[in-house]
Amino acid sequence: MSISLPMKLLLLLALCLSALAAHAAPYLPSSGSQVIETLPRRADPVQQDIERLRKQVRSSPNDVRLATTLARRYIDIGRAETDPRYFGYAQAALAPWWNAKAPPHEVRLLRATLMQSTHHFQEAMDDLDAITAADPGNAQAWLTRATVQTVRGDFDGATASCARLSSIASQLASFTCVGNVAGVTGRLAASEQLLAQTLARNSDAPREEQAWVLTLLAEMATRRGDPASAEARFRSALAISPRDSYLLGAYADFLLDQKRPREAADLLRDHQRIDALLLRYALALQPQAARKADYDAAVKELDARFGAAMQRGDSVHQREQARYTLFLKRDAKTALVLAQQNWLVQKEPADTRLVLEAALAQGNREAAEPVMRWIEKHRLEDVAIGALMQRLRVPA
């Protein structure tokens, strides 16, 4: 049966590609008058809706329809507010079925999405394989499956999953899925052009969907070496979705690469709850001598967060930890180990670039060779990665 792609599907796709925040270390305020958190107003219609759903779930804890509705609302709020705590609330809402071997499909799909976001990729794939086998018309399951496969570097599998969307999802969603894979496998310019044309033809698409496609197009332009197009697309996406954590991180990276740290710091000043954004905030403050106090505070907070993650044995944010170790701690040897371990799990362009940066900083060209062979095999196009490869191949 052919269905259109609902708005929430694209919001969940954005969730799949975004990093979740690690838990921060306990924080003690300096005085009793210090504001720690501004709580949502009780009169807020969104919070009123959440409270109504909470009461219904408490009254009927085994009602899967109510529980999944609440979980989806939490995910939506977590995305809109750049607040990763809501993803934990979403998991809690699904608690009666979370550990079940074969929960209802709607639970299984949400569980797979949340599992992927915490890098439990195999568990996510097990759930997604089960859903698509039993319900091959489930567009959201195929899209989430393609996301997991792309992150892991299984591009043939991701292409096959995207192909299943052609008859069961919107044209824009289908082309975005295919273009995201083709854009990292040797067809960057063609994929970017097709996706831009498809977005123009679908100007009535939900605004959240448009923001996500604009973000992907901005990243494509960045990898192709067209900063003007990338800048315009990032700004258009931010005008639609100014609090999207993935978008904020991607634009901050662009600004850092463009040697515009003041703008990057201003962009992220109010978004330090998520580790990945706090890291970029610190990187943006690093070259600004006049803001040394802010930089020191940000690094101190990162020290605490990554220290707590290591004590828990949490490797979800290994990319961020490797980047923090390389550029803030200046420990290339440790950063290279972390970057290599992370690259074994996920192989997005940022993960690939980080291995090369760490290998170059340590002067360890041999460590970069497996990654460079992988880049050539899949024909990954990225001007920054290409420049790193050239530098690594210059004789010492």
Per-residue pLDDT tens listing for the chain (396 residues):
333 444 444 444 443 434 333 333 333 333 444 344 444 555 678 788 899 999 999 999 899 999 999 999 998 888 777 677 888 999 999 999 999 999 999 999 999 988 988 889 999 999 999 999 999 999 999 999 999 999 999 999 999 999 999 889 999 999 999 999 999 999 999 999 999 999 999 999 999 899 999 999 999 999 999 999 999 999 999 999 998 989 999 999 999 999 999 999 999 999 998 899 999 999 999 999 999 999 999 999 999 999 988 887 776 789 999 999 999 999 999 999 999 999 999 999 999 999 999 999 999 999 999 999 999 999 999 999 999 999 999 876
* CA distances for 170 relative to 128, 138, 143, 339, angstroms: 20, 13, 12, 37
**Helix %, strand %, coil % for the chain, to 5?**
70, 0, 30
Rounded to whole angstroms, the Cα distance separating 2 from 10 reads: 17
Q: Answer yes or no: are the C-beta atoms of 110 and 133 closer than 8 Å.
A: no
For residue 183, give both structure tokens. Answer: 């854009």
Q: Answer yes or no: are the C-beta atoms of 363 and 396 closer than 8 Å.
A: yes
For residue 129, give both structure tokens. Answer: 């394989």
Helices (H), 60-154: 64-81, 85-93, 95-98, 105-117, 121-134, 139-152
- Burial environment of residue 30 by CB neighbours within 10 A (0 to 12, 13 to 18, 19 or more): exposed
- Burial environment of residue 214 by CB neighbours within 10 A (0 to 12, 13 to 18, 19 or more): buried
Taking the CA atoms of the chain, what radius of gyration do you get in angstroms?
21
Rounded to whole angstroms, the Cα distance separating 209 from 8 reads: 9
**pTM > 0.85: yes or no:** yes
Using CA atoms in the order 120, 122, 124, 127, what is the torsion angle rounded to 10 degrees? -150
If one counts every other C-beta atom within 10 angstroms of the C-beta of residue 315, the result is: 15
* CA distances for 342 relative to 181, 187, 249, 320, 346, angstroms: 20, 25, 18, 10, 6
The tally of CA atoms less than 13 A away on the side-chain side of residue 182 is 19
For residue 328, give both structure tokens. Answer: 């803030």
**Closest among 85, 130, 117 to 18, alpha carbons compared:** 117
Rounded to whole angstroms, the Cα distance separating 375 from 356 reads: 11
